[in-house]
Amino acid sequence: MNLRFTLFSAIALALASSCNTKSGSVAQADGGSQTDTLSAYLMVFHQDATHGLHMAVSEDGYTFKALNGGAPVFSGDTIALQNGIRDPHIYRGADDNFYLSMTDLHIYAQREGFHDTEWERPGKDYGWGNNRGLVLMKSSDLVNWKRVNLQFDSISPEYAEVGCVWAPETIYDDKAGELMIYYTSRFGDGPNKLYSVHVSEDYDRLLDEPRLLYTYPDSSKSAIDADIT
């Protein structure tokens, strides 16, 4: 599905590879073919009140001004199967394209009338905030976006029992020569662990099955929301 965001047509930001902050993800000037014209930093973030994708810009990387009057740039109910998004991350590749990934999850879906129950599936079986997939978006200009919703429960029979797919981030795997998404996941209501999977250049399909990236040494604890820098 293709989307267009007209607010950016006047901003014409030139941004580069991503770094993480506690409140969201920042795309910053750090290489790429357009570094001579870089003009600002772009931060993406979510808010519980809206479950939409928010953006803010900064000239110095410290003080940010929210775009779109503080309202979501993309409403969660227009891009996510659960009608809400969380944990957005933006990455600028060496090809100067922008790769935007998000958790497909609305934690107040029942209250907002999207679900009859608290979660998509029973919490006793699949845990808090259970979901099945991610929202991926790609753009070459921050104006025109291509979107896909990836559902991990359809990868294989084993993944039918996936309990969550949270907090995705994108990097380039030099060894494999492919884009790689790493994220938090679990099976059923088991412990959260970190997984990785390669994704196509078009950012619209998985190239292999996810593999375990990291598990916390103490099996009674979970590992979530990783950042590779």
**At 94, which CATH number?**
2.120.10.10
Does the residue 29 lie in any domain? Answer: no
Does the residue 152 lie in any domain? Answer: yes
Does the residue 22 lie in any domain? Answer: no
Specify the number of domains making up the chain. Answer: 1
Does the residue 31 lie in any domain? Answer: no
Does the residue 9 lie in any domain? Answer: yes
Does the residue 196 lie in any domain? Answer: yes
Under the banding of pLDDT at 50, 70 and 90, the label for residue 20 is: very low
- For 141-196, what is each residue's pLDDT tens digit? 999 999 999 999 999 999 999 999 999 999 999 999 999 999 999 999 999 999 99
Does the residue 222 lie in any domain? Answer: no
* Residue 142 belongs to domain spanning: 2-13+45-52+73-214
Q: Is the pLDDT of residue 35 over 80?
A: no
Does the residue 147 lie in any domain? Answer: yes
- The 3-state secondary structure of the chain, one letter per residue: CEEECHHHHCCCCCCCCEEEECCEEEECCCCCCCHHHCCCEEEEEECCCCCCEEEEEECCCCCCEECHHHCCCECHHHHCCCCCEEEEEEEECCCCCEEEEEEECCCCCCCCCCCCCCCCCCHHHHCCCCCCEEEEEEECCCCEEEEEEEEHHHCCCHHHHEEEEEEEEEEEECCCCEEEEEEEEEECCCCCEEEEEEECCCCCCECCCCEEEECCCCCCCCCCCCCCC
